[in-house]
Structure 1
Amino acid sequence: MGETDYYALYYDLLYSHRDVKAETDFLEKMFREHSSIPVRSVLDVGCGTGIHSVELARRGYSVVGVDVSREMVEKAREKSRGLQNASFVQADIRSFSAGRRFDSAIAMYGVMSYFVDDDDLMSVLKAIRAHLNTGGLFVFDTWNLVGVQEKRLYYETPSASFRRSGSMLAIKEETWRLDLHNQVALLEITWSVIDLPQSKIDVFTHRINIRLFSPREIKHYLREAGFEVRAMFEDYACKPFTELSPEAVVVARAL
């Protein structure tokens, strides 16, 4: 047997603090307000265990989720059992071909920030554009360079937070190190997942580099890939984006 992918195993618990229904409401609002075409199909890039794909499918959209992790895709397929309008593929979006186009694409929970290399980023954006009908939307969230820099002390101070779902408890210990010269943050995150009835604990650590974008940079790369930025927010509650916003939710339209 291979090594357990704890991140995939506990993915839904780790994101249990997120309001997926409200985030999907936001997506539908953007579809209505900014898409030039009716949105009936969605490509979910870096779909994880299908949190948003399944919710969108339940609302009647035809959804294809793509993730590089086999374990994530397997869990997404389990969760979507019985939904004929949701399917999941293990693939790298840079080389993925669905053989069809979609009315919208989404990349939730910082997926675009994982592509710290410029060429990789452009490959991803061009692959997404190639899968979209003209006038369709691409919605994603990422990190804002200036906003993170402004709160550098906050982000670089080790912190702990908690998640709880049913009888499961997750403790997140997180450390950031900012490399502003290269516009990246180096994250080390340790999770302690406790199964209370079983008195069982799993501890695992993952280290990731995430890209920090400036708004101008976001617009430039999207334009080069065949998009125009229609709107930017600080969060999925439509809070206005400012230069001090640590995060950015970007709504772009395919040209």
Structure 2
Amino acid sequence: MAYTHLAAVYDALMADAPYSEWLDWAEAVWSRTGRPKSVIDLGCGTGNLAIPLAKRGYQVTGVDLSAEMLSIAYEKMKREQALVTWVEQDMRELALPESDAVISFCDSLCYLLEEGDVERTFERVFAQLRPGGTFLFDVHSPYKIVEVFGDNTFTLTGNEINYIWQCCCEPERLEVEHQLTFFIQERGDLFRRMEEVHVQRTYQPIQLAGWLRAAGFEDIVITGDFTWLPPTPESERLFFSARRPLS
């Protein structure tokens, strides 16, 4: 699912997101598996991981379905004086030159709403990796979908950006619909209203690990919430690392 209206306010809404923790987690994995030269950032959004990776010396390709998000990423890249290759592409049809590593953080894979979509994406990622290459990603846990999002409503009242965020959960599918209504201040007391709907789904860890193995991956490790420990029943974010065999 592509971001449209939300792209314009995405960075303001995500200002407190733990991007540095994602970067540190990835580099900690690579310290064990070997530092990659080239990295594909799958579901790169506005470049909040791709650009810092490029500034750390990696050859980065940012892939996203949203042209609006990529346009913002491109402008940020120029301001940051970094170099990233931006590609508008569906992750299920990923087709790029081979890379040493693929990452997909900030629950981007949760926008794959059918099991076949996940299987196809894993197959395409495997095909993109050089032998020995790593695939790192995270997803919302089943606990977060059902218990944290659930059928809850969240609100934000600020000076320039306000929102009402309503969640509608289907527990059997581990799926949640996010109904977002934004009120963006334009001038004085004038606010512009924008609406957007996003649907996310997660899967049981054992399913995801099985699809990774079926795609050809090995050395599959699952941890919880930016740690090196196995997930607990109340972990909100599941982290996966997997490797394409050397031969």
TM-score scaled by length of structure 2? 0.86
For residues 152 and 200 of structure 2, the distance between their equivalents in structure 1, rounded to whole angstroms, comes to: 17
Q: Give the alignment of 1:161-200 within 5 angstroms.
A: 161-162=155-156, 168-180=160-172, 183-195=173-185, 198-200=188-190
Per the alignment, residue 5 of structure 1 pairs with 4
Alignment of 1:26 onto 2:25: yes
Residue in structure 2 matched with residue 106 of structure 1 by the alignment:
103
Call closer, same or farther: CA 1:246–1:25 in 2, change over 3 Å: closer
Q: Percent identity?
A: 24
CA offsets 1:149-194 (integer angstroms, 9 cap, x no match): 7x53x43242324487xx64343523131231xx231312324243
- The aligned counterpart of 2:218 is 228
Match of 1:251 in 2: 241
1:87 matched residue in structure 2? 85
Structure 2 counterpart of 1:5, one-letter code: T
Inter-CA distance 205–234: structure 2 relative to 1 (3 Å threshold): farther
SS of 1:80's partner is helix
Residue type matched to 1:17 in 2? D
Change (3 A) 1:80 1:129: same
- Choose which of 32, 43, 52 in structure 1 pairs with 2:49: 52
The 1-side partners of 2:218 and 2:123 are apart by: 13
Partner AA of 2:19 in structure 1: V
SS in 2 for 1:213: coil
Structure 1 regions of 5+ residues with no counterpart? none
Aligned residues: 242
1:219-254 CA-partner distances (Å, limit 9, x unpaired): 100011121254322222556412432321111112
How many Å separate the matches in 2 of 1:57 and 1:168? 31
Cα 1:25–1:214 shift into 2, 3 Å: same
SS at match of 2:238: strand
Stretches of structure 2 that go unaligned for 5 or more consecutive residues are none
Q: 1:170 to 1:229 in 2, by over 3 A?
A: farther
Post-superposition offset of 1:141: 1.0
Give distance in 2, aligned partners of 1:58 and 1:229. Answer: 29
Q: Distance in 2 between matches of 1:162 and 1:232?
A: 33
- Show CA shifts across 1:94-145 (max 9, x none): 22322x2111111111111111222222221111111111222111111233
Summarize the alignment of residues 17-166 of structure 1 with structure 2, pairs less than 5 Å apart. Answer: 17-33=16-32, 35=33, 37-81=34-78, 83=81, 85-98=83-96, 100-145=97-142, 147-148=143-144, 152=147, 154-162=148-156
160 and 238 in structure 1: CA distance in 2 versus 1, 3 angstrom threshold: farther
Partner-residue secondary structure (3-state), 2:75: helix
Distance 1:253 1:119 in 2: 21
SS in 1 for 2:225: coil
The alpha-carbon deviation at position 70 of structure 1 amounts to 1.1
Distance in 2 (alpha carbons) for counterparts of 1:178 and 1:139:
27
Q: Decide whether the 8 Å contact of 2:150 with 2:176 is kept in 1.
A: no
Q: Aligned partner of 2:104: which letter?
A: A
CA contact (8 A) 1:103 1:136 kept: yes
Q: CA deviation at 1:78?
A: 0.9
Alignment check: 8 A CA contact 1:14 1:163 kept = no
Q: Secondary structure at the match of 2:92?
A: coil
Shift of 1:91: 1.4
Instruction: Check conservation: 1:42, 1:62, Cα contact below 8 A.
Output: yes
Which amino acid is the alignment partner of residue 51 of structure 2? V
Q: Deviations over 1:13-44 (max 9, x none)?
A: 121121212321121111112x2x43121101
